Structure 1
Amino acid sequence: MTDGLQQIVDGLTDASPLDQVNLVLGIVGVALMIRRSLWAFPVGMVAVTVQGVLFWQWTFYADAKLQIFFFVCLGYGWWHWVKHKGNAPELPITTLGWPVRGAWIVGATLVMLGWGYWQSGHTDAVMPYRDTFIASFSMAAQVLQVRKRLENWAGWVAVNSVAVVTYWAAGLVYTSFLYTVFLGMGVLGWWQWWRAMTATTAATEEAATHG
């Protein structure tokens, strides 16, 4: 058995209770979000609390502080999905135009560069710029997710791809494995939300045609 595979097996079997809770909550929370269930929000709020403690222990400070932002966003998203769905069964999934997508990418990149520069000179962060890429683009993806924009999944796929490589390079093989799972779930979420959005659009157009 290779060293990497052995570390994953060890992580699954010998990890601390907090790591095990983090694994379960993370997967359950994302699975619920893929299904567009409101339960994704309370589960997610507990998950990011646990994740924040773990990241702080590993000296990924930007990621640790990011969990506070996530907690607030999830609380807002819970309210927004319920408050603004109107008479529909659920808040509809929408998309952004290309100029707005570009603005989100530029904004997240500027935050990454500024935050990474500060971290490189003021903290003992292991990989300051990779850390802040994950943090800044996660912030963008989280806001888009609670606003129920389809593009949020593109953001999560990018974040999880970088996270897999970053945590593996830092020796956190178990965490890298976890983010590999999240990467696959991000792709699945993107596809499922796109299917739901197109089905809703088609139903609306058909109703308008026959109305």
Structure 2
Amino acid sequence: MNELITQAIAQWQLMHSLELVATLLALAYVILALKHSLWCWPAALLSTLLFTHVMWQSALLSDALLQLYYAGMALYGWWRWQQLRQATPGAKGSVFEWRWQWHLVLIVITALAGWALGMFMASYTQADFAYLDAQTTAFSVMATFLVARKLVSNWLYWVVIDAVSIYVYAQKHLYFLTGLFMLYTVIAIAGYFIWRSHYQQQPAVKLSV
């Protein structure tokens, strides 16, 4: 009995240690992204690999799949930001925006994808918060792509996604993640106003969709 308790405590400590390290790396990613630093993407890659394990063990299956997507997007983001630097020499911090009509279409498509994923998770897996988790997953997929494209509006999506995630992670007793997403929400609000101000002041630049 004592051995089982010792193993349970050890597993709990390992899980929360991984969660803490992944949380610190994820926070570094957001702060570096806010500053237009390429090094945000290596921090994101390491964080997602750790979070994949944490989410899987917590039965947040949609989130676990999302972390694998984040890992791929970290590689894409590194490549894309390098491209943007080469396309606009000396304009390291250039940011972009799409017309509102494109965002409306994107929201509808993403919401439908989230509903379909939620229905699958609710019907065929033991995932907790199947529909809510699936919607945050779908919108996180979309918003991460907008970060890689350096669109100002990515921060607005993250404000909503992070606020919903606070509830989910608190219910699952993932305390470091809950605290992280509280910080994320504040940073996303600040990020939007900082990038929007920069967008309004920068010289006109063209962006391929």
Shorter-chain TM band:
0.7 to 0.9
Structure 1 residue 44 corresponds to structure 2 residue 44: yes
**Structure 2 Cα separation of the partners of residues 118 and 106 of structure 1:** 19
> TM-score, normalized by length of structure 1?
0.84
The code of the aligned residue for 1:68 comes to L
Determine helix, strand or coil for the equivalent of 1:84.
Answer: helix
Instruction: Give 5+ residue unaligned stretches, structure 2.
Output: 1-12
In 2: Cα distance, 1:182 partner to 1:14 partner: 24
Moved more, 126-135 or 165-174: 165-174
Q: Amino acid of the residue matched to residue 30 of structure 1?
A: V
Contact 2:58 2:172 in 1 (8 A): no
**8 Å contact 1:25–1:44 — kept in the other structure?**
yes
3-state SS in 2 of match to 1:74? helix
Alignment RMSD: 2.0
Cα offset, 1:76, TM superposition? 1.1
Rounded to whole Å, the distance in 2 between the matches of 1:167 and 1:130 is 12
Distance 1:119 1:14, change over 3 A: closer
Q: Distance in 1 between matches of 2:96 and 2:158?
A: 17
Identical amino acids, percent of aligned pairs: 24
User: What does residue 18 of structure 2 align with?
Assistant: 18
Question: Does the alignment pair 1:193 with 2:195?
Answer: yes
Report how far residue 89 of structure 1 moved: 2.8
* CA shift digits 1:155-187 (9 cap, x unpaired): 111110110112223343442222111111111
Conserved in 2, the CA contact under 8 Å of 1:115 and 1:132? yes
- Which shows bigger deviation, 135-144 or 69-78? 69-78
Q: 2:106 aligns with which of 96, 99, 104?
A: 104
Equivalent residues, number: 191
Divergent runs of 4+, >4 A: none
TM-score by length of 2: 0.85
- Within 2, Cα distance between the matches of 1:167 and 1:17? 16
For 1:14 and 1:74, the matched residues in 2 are separated by 25
Contact 1:81 1:91 in 2 (8 A): no
Q: 1:88 to 1:53 in 2, by over 3 A?
A: same
Whole-angstrom distance in 2 between the partners of 1:178 and 1:38: 21
| Cross-structure match for 1:57 | 57
